[in-house]
Amino acid sequence: MEPHPPVFTCRLTGETAEVFGGTGDEVFPYWSFTKTVLAICALKLVESGALRLDTPRPGEGFTLRQLLDHTAGLPEYCALPAYRAAVASDEEAWSRDQIYEATMAQGPRFAPGQGWAYSNLGYMLVRERIEEAAGQPFAALLSEVTTRPLGLQSIALASRRADFARVHWPEARGYHPGWVYHGCLIGTAADAARLLQALFSGALLAPATLAQMLRRHRLGGALDGRPWTDCGYSLGLMTGRTGAVGRALGHSGSGPFCVNAVYHFPDAKPPVTVASFAGGAAEGVAESAAVHHVCA
């Protein structure tokens, strides 16, 4: 049996942060936890009236809500052999039009609203929608909506190989974050936990908007090698249950060399938010570490 990779975790209970593994200053890729932040930014624009959740754009059959909860029926670019080969060969990232055309050539998975299929391409479109509506780049909106008001100084949007030079994992330092077309945030475990805790404490969205974010598409039960006993997806959030620990609300993520799990556990007494980061490709390692530290 291969040994588990080292795991770096921050557990946040109220204002008390506890670090397990490392110093707490390590910077990690947030991978698909970035989707949660994109969803927060999109919903802030919905609150202001700049975006609509349930009105399709002219010429499109899907809505922003369907992009956010992966029910738009769009295909997935990670399924493309040429994409996987280019990432493995450490090539420069393709252009936006190249990835869009190659992905859409696979055809839709289903009619909008008639199924569920994870689509990173869908979140590329979410980013484009929010940048258009806000009239500013995602990095600027990220600062305005989350990191500056919350004082999260470590979080940044990586756009160049040089940005990954800050990342803890040595394998990351030549990776081009442009291969993550919706964007890849980087930051510490503590700041990831603080951002998610702020969402559920009401610091980022109005109660009615947060209720919309939590509307859930149920997907199924237990997953092999992972702690989930019930799985679902909301707007930018993986939502389900993890056995006796109860509900878990947040997002896992994975890239070529590491994984993460950033979750809020509202049924813990008191509620706990945990961010775990591990090397390797098994998301269950980070998820299981997060669940373990709820009661540690």
- Segment 86-118, tens digit of pLDDT: 999 999 999 999 999 999 999 999 999 999 999
pLDDT of residue 5: 67
Whether the per-residue pLDDT at 268 is higher than 70: the answer is: yes
**Does any domain span residue 51?**
yes
What's the whole-number average pLDDT of the chain?
95
**Does any domain span residue 228?**
yes
pLDDT of residue 2: 43
* Residues 13-23 pLDDT 10s: 999 999 999 99
Residue 190: which CATH number? 3.40.710.10
**Does any domain span residue 276?**
yes
**Does any domain span residue 2?**
no
Whether the per-residue pLDDT at 1 is higher than 50: the answer is: no
Q: How confident is the model at residue 4 (pLDDT cuts 50, 70, 90)?
A: low
Burial of 267 (0-12, 13-18, 19+ CB in 10 A): middle
Both tokens of residue 64? 């922003």
Q: Could you tell me if 158 and 164 are in contact, meaning their C-beta atoms sit under 8 angstroms apart?
A: yes
Q: Residue 152 and residue 36: Cα distance in Å, rounded?
A: 16
**Does any domain span residue 1?**
no
**Does any domain span residue 110?**
yes
Number of domains in the chain: 1
**Does any domain span residue 161?**
yes
* Residues 43-91 pLDDT 10s: 999 999 999 999 999 888 999 999 999 999 999 999 999 999 999 999 9
Domain that residue 118 falls in: 7-294
Q: Cα dihedral angle (125, 130, 131, 133), rounded to 10 degrees?
A: 120
* Residues 145-177 pLDDT 10s: 999 999 999 999 999 999 999 999 998 888 999
Q: Could you tell me if 253 and 185 are in contact, meaning their C-beta atoms sit under 8 angstroms apart?
A: no
pLDDT of residue 295: 80
Q: How confident is the model at residue 6 (pLDDT cuts 50, 70, 90)?
A: confident
**Does any domain span residue 167?**
yes
pTM of this prediction? 0.97
